[in-house]
Amino acid sequence: MFQQAIDTVRAKGHAPSRYGNFIGGRWVEPIRGEYFTDHSPINGRQLAEIAKSSPEDVEAALDAAHRAKEGWARMAPAERAKILNCVADRLEENLELLALAETMDNGKPIRETRGADVPLAIDHFRYFAGCVRAEEGAISTIDDKTIAYHFREPLGVVGQIIPWNFPLLMAAWKIAPALAAGNCTVIKPASQTPLSLLLFAELTADILPPGVVNIVTGPGASVGRAIAANPRIAKVSFTGETTTGRQIMGYAAEHLIPQTMELGGKSPNIFLADVMNEDDSFLDKALEGFALFAFNKGEVCTCPSRALVHESIFDRFVERAVARVGAIRVGDPLDPLTQMGAQASEDQLHKILGYIDIGKQEGAECLTGGQRAVREASSTTASSSSPPCLSATTRCGFSRRRFLGRSCR
């Protein structure tokens, strides 16, 4: 199944074994000539070699973006909308290709990439193609001799940094509104999951004018900082972990660069005694909400990584909830029946298993799951674990930590 998927991506997506950066509408080798390997979390197989970029590559991307910004900004909104719709159409034509790439690179189930991630990314371009047609300025009358005009103008060149949990969808969330508003972008995907965005560049290279979208891959410590701290960036948008977000904000603040941050947080669900007054659809929905921590393998900042259950119903509710979690099907992400696939990376898996060990050391009891899941002999390197539920009091420090991954309670 995996070999067929990777063959499809390479053939239909014209995916090479080595990717440079996408700068000025073409593929460019990294200036320092360095690369890193992108492995699939499904089985550890190599997907491609990816440019390990440097601040010099970011400068080259900014050069291309600044060359393109005037022409793109002057383009009529109707024309920009037409291009965004063309992008959406091209992505829709290649939905299966992008879904396969996203699943192989991130480990999330193919049922989610086919049914949610890629369709929502497509819709985002269509949505903002419509928004830009309806965008208007305003006029305010100050007095009989004074009128204030309010114009909405592009910022110019923006920097965008995306995480590994929704690689293509997060890219669409950032690229589509930026382009609709008349901006050009330099965007960096997460090093764990660059493949779908690189395929996006290849698929849309003949649609988007050169320099409008520039993709630079590589480590966040150097490439991300080079984007966020660069005075030629008009705005920075970052989605990711809170500590990294603070760093990005600090880099941008050196040049008073505006920022948009989408950061993580602790996300408890509270279940009070009345949820078990009746064995009805409301209780079923509450149990579904409990099990939602496993959505996207727990790799969502809004997944409920804690459940605070009233002590009067604790035993009865947890028994039902653990049974619901135990029914989640863990398996090959390329199998349409799989509900939970592999973590985005081996590092992420070890982090989760480490947190489970910490919880046990602090007195938490593991009620189900919590161990590495080995599906078959050919997939022993898969970064998968069974969904865990841990029981602890609120005095346990473990219960107050934030997790991004197959979260525990």
State the catalytic residues.
262, 301
Amino acid found at 111? R
CA–CA distance, 351 with 370 (Å, rounded to integer):
12
CA–CA distance, 256 with 254 (Å, rounded to integer):
6
DSSP string computed for 88-136: HHHHHHTHHHHHHHHHHHH---HHHIIIIIHHHHHHHHHHHHHHHHH--
DSSP 8-state code for residue 220: I
* Burial of residue 270, with CB atoms counted within 10 A of its CB: 0-12 exposed, 13-18 middle, 19 or more buried: exposed
Q: Tell me the CA distances in angstroms from 122 to 60, 119, 132, 148, 386, one per residue in order.
A: 29, 5, 16, 38, 31
Amino acid found at 258? P
